[in-house]
Structure 1
């Protein structure tokens, strides 16, 4: 079992995850690598262990990654009810173990759905994210009682190994988001400035008067200022006299 050799391979696992975090251009790409590596490290050689990763980011929609299409389907059952062992593990920062779904009573509707998928045992392990976001490792097995104490300890150890790399991946994703937002803001300001220049030239008016014309037209047409400015810049023809806006 790969999980039994975690002590010997811990540095290699952490290095792999660190490199994956740095190299991934998208947080979902990293999470998918994280899920596949979890299956590799925690599965028996003759079983089909399933893994999903849940990342609950502040001010962002939750991000989901899976080791396979079936694992994704099982995670989505949980999201249908907005609750379940793995979401609870991520939110509360504590391990949640379902030894046998046939005997579980905490989530009756969810339990019935996973039983229909031939899942008998589930393990939710929190992954600490220093950014303040929440994450969970979701493991599923067709075998009742699959996650014994030794396996739970191995999963927790893997979650600790993944924690630093996931924190880095989230930090890099947040930086990329901020850069994209800044770029969009700069592009929006540039477009508005160009539109104001067009209106000034066409109407022989001041910058303040041109901005007021643009703002008034935006309000009257129920369009965002940047969208109206973009339309004006796109349709502007230097040889055309007059303007779309009347003073």
Structure 2
């Protein structure tokens, strides 16, 4: 059970985490801070990690504070069952007080016990349309988590989700800027080569894209490649 008597101390630690999440750091570092903070703020947590599940069963096991979360993620994806997958895809929160008595996951629960994990807490991450995720906390003792721990885990999961979404937004923005630059270069080449203006050069690129059923950015890259070849 987490001692919430020091509300100021808890709020201060959350504020530190929020500032760290907002700084220009890699998403991997932010997620590692989240799982490390889970161990710090939720005493029952012996190890923690983050599972992302994409379409087609592709998954990423991230920010584990030990190898155990990665091992358990792999087992869940192999068995297609378990609390982390369930929280990532369906439920908002999944808590297991004792895997020795757990019958929801007949293959996964015994595997947890075999590696010494007896209880767990998984909280959904709101990531993106094509990817589901969960923050996963594990304990080597039974009945390690309570409702206060669920609340703190939900806040930490929100930090993790924000970091993932911010990272993807940055990647999309970088991709969009790269595409814009390529199209601009291609237009300049066409204008110089064929003596047309900016508007006509862009229309030519669009026409080739439509006729060949090829992405406009790819057509632009091909034009750039003809200049460099």
Query: In 2, are the aligned partners of 1:95 and 1:125 still within 8 Å (CA)?
Result: yes
CA contact (8 A) 1:55 1:134 kept: yes
Tell me which residue corresponds to 2:70. Answer: 72
Q: Name the stretch that deviates more: 15-24 or 112-121.
A: 112-121
Alpha-carbon distance between aligned partners in 1 of 2:163 and 2:191, rounded to the nearest angstrom: 42
Quote the offset at 1:189 in angstroms: 0.6
Give CA-to-partner distance per residue, 1:60-89, whole Å, 9 cap, x none.
Answer: x76633222332222232233444112222
Q: Structure 1 residues 130 and 124, CA, compared in 2 at 3 Å: closer, same or farther?
A: closer
| Larger Rg, first or second structure (1 or 2) | 1
Q: Secondary structure at the match of 1:137?
A: strand
**For residue 52 of structure 1, what is the aligned residue in structure 2?**
49
Cross-structure match for 1:25: 25
Q: What is the distance in 1 between the residues matched to 2:173 and 2:98?
A: 46
Deviation of residue 49 (structure 1)?
0.3
Counterpart of 2:117 in 1: which secondary structure?
Answer: coil
Structure 2 spans left out of the alignment, 5+ residues: none
Shift in Å, 1:207: 4.8
- 1:159-211 residue CA offsets vs partner (Å, 9 max, x unmatched): 2433554454345334313321221221221232244246437xxxx958975
Count residues in correspondence. 218
Cα separation, 1, equivalents of 2:30 and 2:80: 24
Q: Distance in 1 between matches of 2:111 and 2:158?
A: 34
Shift of the 118–56 alpha-carbon distance from structure 1 to 2, 3 Å rule, reads same
Separation in structure 1 between the aligned mates of residue 41 and residue 201 of structure 2, nearest angstrom: 64
- Cα distance change of structure 1 residues 54 and 20 upon mapping to structure 2, 3 Å threshold: farther
Secondary structure at the aligned position of 1:108 is classed as: coil
Match of 1:43 in 2: 43
51 and 211 in structure 1: CA distance in 2 versus 1, 3 angstrom threshold? closer
Normalised by the length of structure 1, the TM-score is: 0.68
The residue that corresponds to 2:152 in the other structure is 158
- Could you tell me the TM-score, scaled by structure 2's length? 0.72
Name the CA shift for 1:80/1:94 in 2 (closer, same or farther; >3 Å): same
CA distance in structure 2 between the aligned counterparts of 1:181 and 1:39, rounded to whole angstroms: 36
Cα distance in 2, alignment partners of residues 146 and 53 from structure 1? 21
Q: Which residue number in structure 2 is paired with residue 86 of structure 1?
A: 84
* 1:4 match: 3
> Paired residue for 1:125?
123
Unmatched runs of 5 consecutive residues or more in structure 1: 236-247
The reply on whether 1:169 has 2:168 as its aligned counterpart is no
The residue that corresponds to 2:102 in the other structure is: 104
Question: 1:227–1:82: structure 2 CA closer, same or farther, 3 Å change rule?
Answer: farther
CA distance in 1, matches of 2:5, 2:70: 25
